Amino acid sequence: MQTVQSDFILVSDRRADASFLIHHYLSFYLRAGCKVCFLGLVQSFSHYSAVGQRLGVSLAQAREKGQLVFLEGLKESFGVLLQDTSQETQPLSYLRSPGAGLEGLFRFVESCVRQSGDGNAGESWGPPVLLIDDLSVLLSLGVSVGAILDFTLYCQATVCSELQGNMVILVRCEEEDADDDEEGSNLLQRGLVHQCNLALHVEGLPTGYCRDIHGQMEVWWRQRGETIYNQRKIFHFKVHDKGASFFARGTSSAVL
């Protein structure tokens, strides 16, 4: 699944797990030599590292070389909550005052993607990439949908527009009949769809469990400068240990 510079890719799921796409993009951009800023808000570094090993990339080596900057939300949150005083410049300062917004988190992202392209071993990295897994967890911590959308707009302006990099963000959606008119994850997903130029939505099969097909992925994309999505396709998929197979209607499988 190839991308070009200045893409904002939204990954969302409902009744299914789209994490395999985050692991794919992480390994893809590291292999491509990009500088990656990864906000891991729901899993530990060891989790992503173990999956990365199966996909043929070493996250530990990438971090040591300076190619990968990883914010481990689970670990960092303890330090913020146990502090006696609040520091608004900290990435996770919103844990103490959710209503204050996500300026600290944006400043962290901005400093990462603006860092010199030279790695610790004198290597030069490609355009910056911002990955977030999973953005919707901020809603359960009291951050408003509006504050999250402001944060992604600032990130998009810096990473995609100014630095010609890419963003990949995962959001988990509630059931369609959930009461989320005000501050739910479905509202957040709809807002992000208007910002991104490629949307990948993963769902379970409407017919239920199937051994050979794990779910379906709906893809929307639009050309640069377009305000509406002018192309849409639906694929079935099956996840493997080292990737996934996609089945378009009437075609054979394509391996990710």
How many Cα atoms are found within 13 Å in the side-chain-facing hemisphere of 212? Answer: 2
Convert 69-124 into a string of H (helix), E (strand) and C (coil): EEEEHHHHHHHHHHCCCCCCCCCCHHHCCHHHCCHHHHHHHHHHHCCCCECCCCCE
pLDDT in tens, the chain (256 residues): 455 567 899 999 998 889 999 999 999 999 999 999 999 999 999 999 999 999 999 999 999 999 999 998 877 765 565 565 455 557 776 666 666 678 889 999 999 998 855 555 557 899 999 999 999 999 988 889 999 999 999 999 999 999 999 999 999 998 765 554 556 899 999 999 999 999 999 988 777 666 677 778 889 887 666 667 677 888 887 776 666 666 665 444 444 5
Q: Verify cis geometry, omega within 30 degrees of 0, for the bond prior to 134.
A: yes
Please give the model's pTM, rounded to 2 decimal places. Answer: 0.85
Exposed (0-12), middle (13-18) or buried (19+): which is 191, by Cβ within 10 Å?
Answer: middle
Extract the tokens encoding 10: 């939204």
Whole-number Å distance between alpha carbons of 222 and 2: 15
* Residue in 213, 152, 145 with CA at minimum distance from that of residue 173: 145
